[in-house]
A and B are shown apart, each in its own frame.
Chain A
């Protein structure tokens, strides 16, 4: 009896070591595909950020010129402010709403169906979403008509006509799509919470908000990390919605870093300048998300 167990244990230890040795093979496809298709173009972009390049002639080295120009641009402060608004907005609103929807629908008899209205917005194509929100938010548009109908003030407001109101309204439009995605991810998280400790706590008399706070919330941490991590990255990269609705205007009131980057490259054909902004934006995104993740995942790894 002892011998087989000893052999099995020794075998297990060896397999565990082989596991660690073979681990890179499992990780390699992901690393390779990301490196070749995403990192390589970005290395090129990094190089271009130190050059003067219009997409036609060869890039000409110009050192830190683009960076100096970026930091001395008076519109930079406005772009940074708007970008910050987006981060704060998208890390809070859709996350809280998503969590609310997930928790309320979880275990509900019709939970799946009650979740559906929140998931549909993500399934609808960007073209339709952009047009529809344009009509909701234009002066005397759908929103204005509702307010007028209910006798509330603000019916004739031009929601998109002035900052920071226009940025806030666009955050609402994105929340409309993002809340459902977060709800879905939170549901996945809820599904992996073990039943027994939960039942035990329930028998002990915990219920409602206390149950949520002490039992569910801590166990949701892995998925919360995903949701917030992705929200940080997504908010910094937000582009399509703003471009379709205001193009950064009127003036530059709703411009963000991502928009500046796009305008410099694709409208002004100053690829070098656009690349510099892109690099700056990526570094900010990287720092923000890694700081957050480092903090959150430090004990996850130890498990």
Chain B
């Protein structure tokens, strides 16, 4: 907005808070860099050596992370994109097209997020096994899309309420088809909301453990978290620095995603607000 927003007090508060927030990340990096036999719980704050890349390598091979990369990337990209579009379409229908009994539709779609995931797991497994979707990439994409849709629909529905009605009316008068209006006017306007939903859902799917564990078993279908948590078993798991290095390694793509998507959130204001 303007330069007075960058005042020193503001910056100071943010920097202090930011440093406190980064403390656990510091702990993570420092301890993931310690060698297997150099770790001691009494000195978690002190760095001791830099075996980070060795530990990365250990975690990578011990957990066979490479096998799961392609599948997990596929899920984390395709499912959120589908969810974003499906959710935006629902929001568009409810708010812009004034879907009849729109609130009920909204409650129904939002209600999908109310069920605790653990309870949905076993019936879903039976259904998947009997319908042949078990242990398939398509099956995983479908379920990841389904759990991302309620969040997406919620955000998009509320976002669209912030766009003036006149935009729609003018577009109709200009002779646009409903789908074209959706695609070329509403979606572009919602850029930052779409990006936020995508990032948050992609991260969620990337970090998912339970669904991957329950609905798949082959190494080419399983996502990355079930493979990673295998390092942490009481019965013969890996040493702590290796586990931490694995956790850090697996987090790198999502961190990069957050960094790359920042440009959506550094813009000033969206268009078409009057």
Chain A residues at the B interface, C-beta cutoff of 8 Å: 8-9, 11-12, 15-16, 18-20, 22-27, 29-31, 33-42, 44-45, 55, 101, 104-112, 114-129, 131-133, 135-136, 138, 140-142, 145-146, 176, 179, 181, 184-185, 187-188, 191-196, 219, 222-223, 225-226, 229-230, 233, 237, 239, 258, 261-262, 265-266, 271, 274-275, 278, 281-282, 285-286, 289-290, 293-294, 297, 300-301, 303
- What does the 1/0 interface line of B66-107 toward A look like (CB < 8 Å)? 000000000000000000001101101111111110110111
Instruction: Give the docked Cα–Cα distance between A275 and B119 (Å).
Output: 7
B24: chain A residues at CB < 8 Å are: 121, 129, 132-133, 136, 176
Instruction: Give the docked Cα–Cα distance between A274 and B119 (Å).
Output: 8
Range for the number of chain B residues in contact with chain A: 35 or more
A70 to chain B, nearest CB (A): 14
B198 to chain A, nearest CB (A): 11
Not counting A27-B94, A118-B17, a sample of 20 additional A-B residue pairs whose C-beta atoms are within 8 angstroms of each other reads A8-B173, A11-B175, A12-B173, A20-B98, A20-B99, A26-B89, A26-B97, A27-B89, A27-B93, A29-B89, A30-B87, A109-B3, A117-B25, A120-B21, A129-B247, A136-B27, A146-B45, A187-B192, A188-B192, A229-B154
Given the known interface contacts A42-B115, A300-B158, the answer about A124 and B25 at a Cβ–Cβ threshold of 8 Å is yes
Instruction: Give the docked Cα–Cα distance between A8 and B93 (Å).
Output: 23
A115: chain B residues at CB < 8 Å are: 265
Instruction: Give the docked Cα–Cα distance between A8 and B143 (Å).
Output: 44
**Top 3 closest pairs, chain A to chain B, by CB:** A128-B247, A107-B1, A26-B93
Name 8 interchain pairs, CB-CB below 8 A, sorted by A: A33-B149, A45-B119, A111-B266, A121-B21, A124-B248, A124-B251, A265-B122, A297-B158
Chain B residues at the A interface, C-beta cutoff of 8 Å: 1-3, 5-6, 10-11, 13-15, 17-19, 21-25, 27-28, 31, 41-42, 44-45, 86-87, 89-90, 92-100, 102-103, 105-124, 127, 142-143, 145-147, 149-151, 153-155, 158-159, 161-163, 165, 169, 172-173, 175, 178, 182, 192-193, 196, 199-200, 203, 206-207, 209, 225, 228-229, 232, 240, 243-244, 246-248, 250-251, 254-255, 257-259, 262, 265-270, 273-274
A18 to chain B, nearest CB (A): 7
B26 to chain A, nearest CB (A): 10
Instruction: Give the docked Cα–Cα distance between A136 and B45 (Å).
Output: 10
Instruction: Give the docked Cα–Cα distance between A34 and B6 (Å).
Output: 44
B258: chain A residues at CB < 8 Å are: 116, 119-120, 123
B100: chain A residues at CB < 8 Å are: 20, 23
Flag if A31 contacts B105 (CB, 8 Å).
yes
Flag if A141 contacts B10 (CB, 8 Å).
no
Instruction: Give the docked Cα–Cα distance between A266 and B270 (Å).
Output: 48
A9: chain B residues at CB < 8 Å are: 173
B77 to chain A, nearest CB (A): 16
Flag if B86 contacts A30 (CB, 8 Å).
yes
Flag if B22 contacts A26 (CB, 8 Å).
no
A210 to chain B, nearest CB (A): 15
B253 to chain A, nearest CB (A): 9
Flag if B254 contacts A123 (CB, 8 Å).
yes
Flag if B243 contacts A131 (CB, 8 Å).
yes
Partner of A125, one of B102, B207, B259: B207
Flag if A286 contacts B146 (CB, 8 Å).
no
Flag if A27 contacts B105 (CB, 8 Å).
yes
A258: chain B residues at CB < 8 Å are: 116, 118
Flag if B247 contacts A45 (CB, 8 Å).
no
Flag if B119 contacts A188 (CB, 8 Å).
no
Given the known interface contacts A38-B146, A265-B118, the answer about A188 and B193 at a Cβ–Cβ threshold of 8 Å is yes
Given the known interface contacts A39-B112, A125-B251, the answer about A106 and B119 at a Cβ–Cβ threshold of 8 Å is no
Flag if A191 contacts B192 (CB, 8 Å).
yes
Instruction: Give the docked Cα–Cα distance between A109 and B3 (Å).
Output: 8
Partner of A34, one of B2, B149, B254: B149
